[in-house]
């Protein structure tokens, strides 16, 4: 977490701690993502970041509210379509092909209304943390 704070030039505020994980956000940023942090460290690792507003976009300019077609156009054959077993929602999961990013995923949860699928939620993080819908394990 301290490495992220140094890069941001802002502190990360921990708003909830328990034995499973801690949740935090970037101080002073009204559009801060929700950060899930490892619960057992004095300087916890950020396990995942969850978008909270339409203002948070990927480098490919997609985010909450983007169409599924826009996500597919941006990420192409690196996307895998899955069904979330807990919610039944369709997910588009970006699987990076660079070795340095192999342990991370970018997940787009889709909702369909009037025949059009759009991004309802978006998160990025480590494999094993980012697949579930909730930030902390149950």
For residue 51, tell me if it sits in a domain: yes
Q: What value does the mean pLDDT take over residues 102-107?
A: 96
- The SS3 call for residue 68 is helix
pLDDT band for position 14 (cuts 50, 70, 90): confident
- The SS3 call for residue 65 is coil
Total number of domains constituting the chain? 1
pLDDT band for position 110 (cuts 50, 70, 90): very high
pLDDT at res. 22 = 86
For residue 136, tell me if it sits in a domain: no
- Would you say the C-alpha torsion 91, 138, 21, 11 has a positive or negative sign? positive
For residue 133, tell me if it sits in a domain: no
Domain span including residue 68: 2-126
Question: Which residues make beta-bridge pairs with 17?
Answer: 22
For residue 137, tell me if it sits in a domain: no
Taking 3-state DSSP, the helix, strand and coil percentages for the chain, each rounded to the nearest 5, stand at 15, 40, 45
Q: What value does the mean pLDDT take over residues 116-125?
A: 96
Domain holding 105: CATH number? 2.60.460
Name the maximum alpha-carbon separation found in the chain.
Answer: 48
- The 10s digit of each residue's pLDDT in 20-61 is 788 888 998 888 898 888 876 677 888 999 998 999 999 999
For residue 90, tell me if it sits in a domain: yes
């Amino acid at each position: 977490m301290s490495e992220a704070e140094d890069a941001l030039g802002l502190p990360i505020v921990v708003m909830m701690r328990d034995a499973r994980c801690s949740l935090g956000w970037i101080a002073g940023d009204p559009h801060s993502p929700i950060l899930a942090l490892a619960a057992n460290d004095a300087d916890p690792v950020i396990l995942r970041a969850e978008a909270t507003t339409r203002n948070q976009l990927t480098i490919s300019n997609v985010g909450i509210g983007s169409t599924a077609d826009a996500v597919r156009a941006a990420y192409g054959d690196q996307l895998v379509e899955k069904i979330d077993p807990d919610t039944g929602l369709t997910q588009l999961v970006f699987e990076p092909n660079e070795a340095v990013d192999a342990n991370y995923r970018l997940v787009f949860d889709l909702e369909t209304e009037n025949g059009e699928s759009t991004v309802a939620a978006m998160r990025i993080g480590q494999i094993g943390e980012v697949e579930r819908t909730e930030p902390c394990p149950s």
